[in-house]
Amino acid sequence: MKLIISAPPHIKEDVSIEKIMWSMVIALLPVTLMAVYVFGLSALYIVLVSVLTAVLTEAILQKMSDKRITIQDGNAVLIGLLLALLFPPNIPLWIPIVGVMIAMVFAKHAFGGLGHTIFNPPLVGVAFLMISWPSLMTFASAPRFGASLPYILEYGATRLADVSPLAMIGALYLLYKRYIDWRIPLSFIVIVALSALLLRIDLSSIFTGVLILGIFFLATDHSTTPVTKIGRFIFGAGCGILIIIYGQFGTYFEGICYSILLMNCFTALIDKYTAPNPSRRYVSWLKKS
Amino acid sequence: MKQIAVMKVPERVVIPVTEPLVAIGDTVNVGQKIGESEHSSVSGEVVEISKLSNKNVLSLVIKTSEDLSIEFQPKENPSPEGIKQILKLAGIPIELTPSEIVILNGTDEKPYVTANHALMLEYLDEILGGLKILMKATGASRGVIVICDSDSDVMGVMKADAKENEIEIIPSKTTYVQCTEDLMKNAIAKGSKAMVSNIGIAKAVYDAVFLGKPLIEAVVTVTGAKESQNVLARIGAPLRSLIETCGGYEGEPEKIIVNGPMTGTAQYTDEVPVTKGTYGVLVQYDGTTGEIRPCIDCARCVDVCPKDLLPNVLAISADHARFDVCVTYRLKDCIECGSCAYVCPSKIPIVQLIKYAKAELEKKE
């Protein structure tokens, strides 16, 4: 009888990087389908081109640097899909190719690949495109036929993710399975809602599909956010404040993009100053029992 | 329903002994003293005294014949000092410290271990009696038994008897790290002196004081064999005989783990004997744990750590041999409960890395 000797624990939770990444992709599928329904084939092409470019770029980069090819873990697909959802529907198809390549090469693999990224890869891609070709990245809403259902089906949408904020309900499942953290979205939403109330901003102009995407899928990206519990609250709150500031002086879309990127800069600092303090090490646990 | 199956007497037992009192060829009986604090769990002939698996400790190998027992002689109404003496003679691994509260840990690592649950259903009076004795010996005024809130059957049986004996029952959430001794001490004693022991020990204490019987048996939960059940095992019996009592293996085993899946030790053979601290045996038929991927800072480990540590930082620092960083992030507070490695989606052996860092730091001191 041959027995395996290994260190404890001898059981592991049924969770893996593959599971987390593919679950996030699946959670984004409804909104992608809605976008295709509203914008037609052009949206489908954008999604396909983005995802394919992401997967190919990753495979080529890893082949070139003699690393194991990890396209099956779903991270490349997720980055491609997230980027696609941030595009307006009428862009030339070379735009997603450039954006995704910037995201994969400079934001993900230049820093060491999965787990080592400092800036959120999809947002780096979008930021690059917005600075380089600002006119192509905006979309004047075309009049469309059919009545809009607020938050469910918005014909006035200017970006793929905007078509249906409610279609991203899959994020709740991700929260329930703890695949994404709940602290960042909570403080993020609370801060945005509070500021909107204080500044008398129309909530429906803020809570667009892109913001929901930002809150649940971009701001919760694991590697680029703090690990401490308090740190994650601070991160979400910081994003919320920055979005409102951006929105007051620019557009909310820029706000979502740059606020998360700016807070990514502070991740290491937040982690350092919110590391758990020995003097209250038992407190949090004992309160629960 | 009978909670605990009694195993048939194994052909031979292996008992680690610090200083053997018997020689090769001697016949020993059940309960006979064979070492400083060790007693024979079977009757038979001593066939070997050698350093077997453990290089530092001598082991006695006893080949069993018919089951003869020495006569156990209980002492009448012993004093606290007397109790300490009896427990020492009976070879019960317990340290009696003067305290105000005696806490019995009745929680289990569910669903893999249910030994405490079975003991409480089967030996209720003995456990309450044992707790009374421990309270007398330590001068404690409060006796507490902590039970998982999912064990409502035990709670129902115990409530009336415990009230009669003025013993408190505290239900605890059925989670894993609940079972840790110092967390329990902090949660219940809140600063006053407390002693934590477990259900098995309480039963052994009762047996030693009221029956004069030394510690020669342990209740072990066997999981992963054909019939998973609790078995009353003789100390020194090989794990193989325990698994045979439960109907044998279900296939080709890949891992045999002693004492719970979270902190237990994987064994290299099923000839390893049951010791006084054994409470669970787990057989796994698939020993693979998944491919190790890079840490993605998902912070799931941070969320589950009962000590409020940052396991991701500790693991990476240990991996990079930055032990100074480990010290800053309170490496020594880690209780190695394994929760972090359990939830890790990248399957990083966090506990192993932390143990490695601890060992390296110890070397330097």
Beta bridge partners of B232: B6, B219
A6 in any annotated domain: no
Average pLDDT over residues A113-137: 92
* Cβ neighbours of A1 in B, within 8 Å: 252-253, 269-270
Cα(A198)–Cα(A189) distance, rounded to whole angstroms?
14
pLDDT at position A141: 59
pLDDT at position A282: 43
Q: Is the Cβ pair A9, B296 closer than 8 Å?
A: no
* Long-range contacts at B25-32 (CB < 8 A, ≥ 24 apart): B27/B65, B28/B62, B29/B68, B29/B69, B29/B70, B30/B67, B30/B68, B30/B69, B30/B70, B30/B216, B31/B69, B31/B70, B31/B72, B31/B213, B31/B214, B31/B216, B32/B70
* Chain B touched by A227 (CB under 8 Å): yes
pLDDT at position A146: 61
pLDDT at position A289: 37
A7 in any annotated domain: no
Q: Is the Cβ pair B289, A12 closer than 8 Å?
A: yes
Residue B100, classified by CB atoms within 10 Å of its CB into exposed (0-12), middle (13-18) or buried (19+), is middle
Looking at per-residue pLDDT, the higher value among A141 and B43 belongs to B43
CATH number assigned to the domain comprising residue A142: 1.10.3430
A40 in any annotated domain: yes
Tell me the shortest Cα–Cα distance from A260 to chain B, in angstroms. 17
Cα(A245)–Cα(B301) distance, rounded to whole angstroms?
34
- DSSP secondary structure string for all residues of A247-265: HHHS-HHHHHHHHHHHHHH
Tell me the shortest Cα–Cα distance from A283 to chain B, in angstroms. 9
* Chain B touched by A278 (CB under 8 Å): yes
A287 in any annotated domain: no
In this prediction, what percent of chain A has a pLDDT beyond 70? 92
Judged by average pLDDT, the poorest of A38-52, A119-133, B242-256 is: B242-256
Q: Is the Cβ pair A5, B266 closer than 8 Å?
A: yes
Average pLDDT over residues A190-201: 90
ipTM rounded to 2 decimals: 0.86
pLDDT at position B75: 75
The phi, psi pair for B49, rounded to 5°, reads -130, 110
> Which among B255, B310, B330 has the least Cβ separation from residue A227?
B310
Instruction: State the amino acid at position B261 in one-letter form.
Output: P
Range of the domain at A23: 17-278
Tell me the shortest Cα–Cα distance from A66 to chain B, in angstroms. 17
> Which among A10, A223, A284 has the least Cβ separation from residue B257?
A10
* Cβ neighbours of B351 in A, within 8 Å: 7-9
* Chain A touched by B172 (CB under 8 Å): yes
pLDDT at position B306: 83
pLDDT at position A281: 46
Cα(A74)–Cα(A211) distance, rounded to whole angstroms?
23
Cα(B69)–Cα(B31) distance, rounded to whole angstroms?
7
Instruction: State the amino acid at position A197 in one-letter form.
Output: L
- Label the pairing between strands B280-284 and B217-223: parallel
pLDDT at position A238: 95
Please, are residues B148 and B172 in contact by the beta-carbon 8 Å criterion? yes
* Chain A touched by B265 (CB under 8 Å): yes
A152 in any annotated domain: yes
* Chain B touched by A198 (CB under 8 Å): no
Residue ranges covered by each domain of chain B: 7-69+215-285, 80-211, 300-364
pLDDT at position B80: 82
A288 in any annotated domain: no
| CB < 8 Å from A in window 81-140 of B | 112
Average pLDDT over residues A110-114: 91
Average pLDDT over residues A214-227: 94
CATH classification code of B7-69+215-285: 3.10.20.600
Domain B80-211, what fold? Rossmann fold (3.40.50)
Nearest CA in chain B to A183: B303
pLDDT at position B154: 82
Summarize pLDDT for B58-107 with one digit per residue, the tens.
Answer: 788 888 887 677 777 777 777 888 888 888 888 888 888 888 888 888 88
Average pLDDT over chain A, rounded to an integer: 88
* Cβ neighbours of B290 in A, within 8 Å: 12, 16
Q: Is the Cβ pair B187, A289 closer than 8 Å?
A: yes
Q: Is the Cβ pair A115, B294 closer than 8 Å?
A: yes
Q: Helix, strand or coil for residue B43?
A: coil
* Chain A touched by B224 (CB under 8 Å): no
* Cβ neighbours of B259 in A, within 8 Å: none
Give the number of A-B residue pairs with CB atoms closer than 8 Å: 150
A286 in any annotated domain: no
* Chain A touched by B183 (CB under 8 Å): yes
For residue A27, what are the CA distances in angstroms to A54, A80, A185, B112? 19, 14, 16, 34
Give the angle A166-A171-A174 at the CA atoms, nearest 5°. 160
Angle between helices A75-85 and A41-64 (to 10 degrees): 140
pLDDT at position A251: 84
pLDDT at position A142: 57
| CB < 8 Å from A in window 287-326 of B | 287, 289-290, 293-300, 302-303, 306-310, 312-313
> Which of A71, A174, A227, A283 would best serve as a mutation to test chain B binding (most B beta carbons within 10 A)?
A227
Q: Is the Cβ pair A7, B346 closer than 8 Å?
A: no
Average pLDDT over residues A225-252: 92
Tell me the shortest Cα–Cα distance from B129 to chain A, in angstroms. 28
Tell me the shortest Cα–Cα distance from A85 to chain B, in angstroms. 23
Please, are residues A17 and B293 in contact by the beta-carbon 8 Å criterion? yes
Number of domains in chain A: 1
For residue A14, pLDDT over 80 is answered with: yes
pLDDT at position B328: 85
For residue A216, what are the CA distances in angstroms to A36, A112, A185, A205? 21, 24, 6, 18
pLDDT at position A212: 92
Instruction: State the amino acid at position B21 in one-letter form.
Output: L
Residue segments in chain B with a per-residue pLDDT below the cut of 50: 1
* Cβ neighbours of A282 in B, within 8 Å: 183, 186, 308
